[in-house]
């Protein structure tokens, strides 16, 4: 099934299909064969694509819910509390119940809001974050869309989300929402530079933007090991900028619940609010997943201990991603939030110059063959 999509897209963007090699899980292969047997090949590929989209949507909607639960539990543990433990065993159904409640709520809005943009904004945010999920290599075979400009695609897609936030803030016809959206614009656009440059530092080692190729390079050592000092600096900058990109504390100037109501989503209620919320958590997963892919070898196991069992890649990928997600939660529940001028000072006076110097160092290291490889 995934192979079909890859073949389809590789024909659209005219890639040699030999780049990908045989990529298909056994289960999906049977479904794909069955689809081809009951309908013409064109229809089968479209059905397969829709199926992949639905599967991804389902998995990540539920994953988002459980990330919310994880956040609440981790927050509780950091603050010496217990956290949700009432609904279901160990509180595992808490966020499901929350979602049900949100679905049943009335969708309110302001009278003079720009209705079209107002309703469009949450979908902008959630779709842009779900689209980014397509390119991640969860295992060698389990990748919906292996595009040759993977990293660029991720940076581009993740910057669309801010348009949703700006639209939401603008169309709400509410000053709090507007100020929140403006702050988000300042923040997200500033920190996008750092994200891009820190990923660019790592692209210098791999020499490729394609995610599967980046993973291939890491078979001789994860990039954070290969690039040693500049890679570690790049990773630190990436995590700081990534936290800011997802509008999480200590960079939550956007929501600013103490001085701005709820920031850009002040006027949203029920499920529309939940979309923003879900998008924030999926974005957090995406930021961690990009870091996993670029710095920590995606589905590769440490020292190749499970190389003979390829499907364990999902386990390694998720483990590494969740560790990084935990790191971001750790940031959130430790650090005090930044003022807007401190936020911009951090980006423009510290992260950006360090990043530019770091790229030069990395270029020198790659040029002089000083990378560490096993």
Which residues are near other proteins by CB under 8 A? 74, 76-82, 330-331, 333-335, 350, 354
What is the Cα–Cα distance from 157 to 343, expressed in whole angstroms? Answer: 23
| CB closer to other proteins out of 78 and 116 | 78
Shortest spacing between CB 228 and other proteins, in angstroms: 18
Is the Cβ–Cβ distance between 325 and 288 less than 8 Å? yes
What is the Cα–Cα distance from 41 to 19, expressed in whole angstroms? Answer: 22
Shortest spacing between CB 336 and other proteins, in angstroms: 9
| CB closer to other proteins out of 8 and 326 | 326
Shortest spacing between CB 78 and other proteins, in angstroms: 5
Shortest spacing between CB 87 and other proteins, in angstroms: 14
Shortest spacing between CB 349 and other proteins, in angstroms: 8
| CB closer to other proteins out of 125 and 329 | 329
Nearest partner of 234 among 323, 366, 135, 368, judged by Cα? 366
What is the Cα–Cα distance from 199 to 155, expressed in whole angstroms? Answer: 9
| CB closer to other proteins out of 85 and 108 | 85
| CB closer to other proteins out of 8 and 333 | 333
| CB closer to other proteins out of 141 and 252 | 252
Record the tokens describing residue 183, joined without a space.
């702050």
What is the Cα–Cα distance from 317 to 293, expressed in whole angstroms? Answer: 8
| CB closer to other proteins out of 83 and 185 | 83
Shortest spacing between CB 80 and other proteins, in angstroms: 5
| CB closer to other proteins out of 79 and 104 | 79
Is the Cβ–Cβ distance between 267 and 113 less than 8 Å? yes
Task: Count the Cβ atoms, other than its own, within 10 Å of residue 147.
Answer: 21
Tokens 């006027």 belong to 267
Shortest spacing between CB 226 and other proteins, in angstroms: 23
What is the Cα–Cα distance from 335 to 349, expressed in whole angstroms? Answer: 20
| CB closer to other proteins out of 183 and 332 | 332
Nearest partner of 265 among 344, 124, 171, 191, judged by Cα? 171
Shortest spacing between CB 337 and other proteins, in angstroms: 13
Shortest spacing between CB 330 and other proteins, in angstroms: 6
Record the tokens describing residue 328, joined without a space.
């971001």
């Amino acid at each position: 099934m995934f192979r079909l999509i890859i073949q389809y897209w590789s024909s659209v963007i005219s890639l040699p299909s030999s780049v990908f090699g045989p990529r298909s899980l056994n289960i999906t292969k049977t479904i794909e064969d069955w689809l081809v047997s009951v309908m013409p090949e064109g229809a089968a590929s479209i059905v397969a694509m829709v199926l992949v989209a639905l599967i991804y949507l389902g998995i990540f909607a539920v994953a988002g819910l459980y990330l919310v639960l994880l956040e609440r539990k981790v927050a509780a543990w950091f603050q010496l509390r217990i956290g949700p433990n009432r609904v279901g065993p160990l509180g595992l159904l808490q966020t499901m119940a929350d979602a049900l409640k949100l679905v049943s709520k009335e969708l309110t809005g302001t009278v003079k809001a720009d209705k079209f943009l107002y309703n469009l904004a949450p979908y902008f945010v959630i779709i842009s974050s779900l689209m980014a999920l397509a390119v991640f290599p969860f295992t060698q075979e389990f990748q919906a869309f292996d595009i040759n400009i993977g990293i660029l695609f991720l940076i581009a897609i993740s910057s669309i989300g801010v348009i949703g936030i700006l639209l939401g803030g603008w169309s709400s016809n509410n000053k709090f929402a507007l100020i929140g959206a403006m702050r988000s614009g300042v923040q997200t656009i500033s920190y996008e530079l750092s994200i891009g440059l820190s990923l660019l530092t790592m692209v210098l080692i791999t020499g490729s933007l394609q995610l599967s190729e980046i993973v291939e390079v890491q078979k001789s050592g994860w990039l954070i090991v290969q690039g040693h000092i500049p890679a570690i600096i790049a990773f630190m900058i990436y995590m700081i900028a990534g936290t800011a990109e997802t509008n999480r504390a200590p960079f939550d100037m956007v929501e600013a619940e103490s001085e701005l109501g709820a920031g850009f989503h002040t006027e949203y209620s029920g499920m529309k609010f939940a979309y923003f919320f879900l998008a924030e958590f999926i974005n957090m997963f995406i930021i961690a997943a990009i870091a996993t892919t670029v710095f920590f070898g995606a589905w590769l196991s440490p020292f190749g201990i499970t190389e003979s069992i390829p499907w364990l890649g999902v386990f390694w990928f998720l483990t590494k991603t969740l560790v990084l997600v935990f790191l971001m939660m750790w940031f959130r529940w430790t650090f005090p939030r930044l003022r807007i001028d401190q936020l911009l000072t951090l980006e423009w006076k510290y992260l950006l110059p360090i990043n530019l110097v770091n790229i030069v160092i990395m270029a020198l290291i790659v040029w002089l063959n000083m990378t560490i490889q096993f």
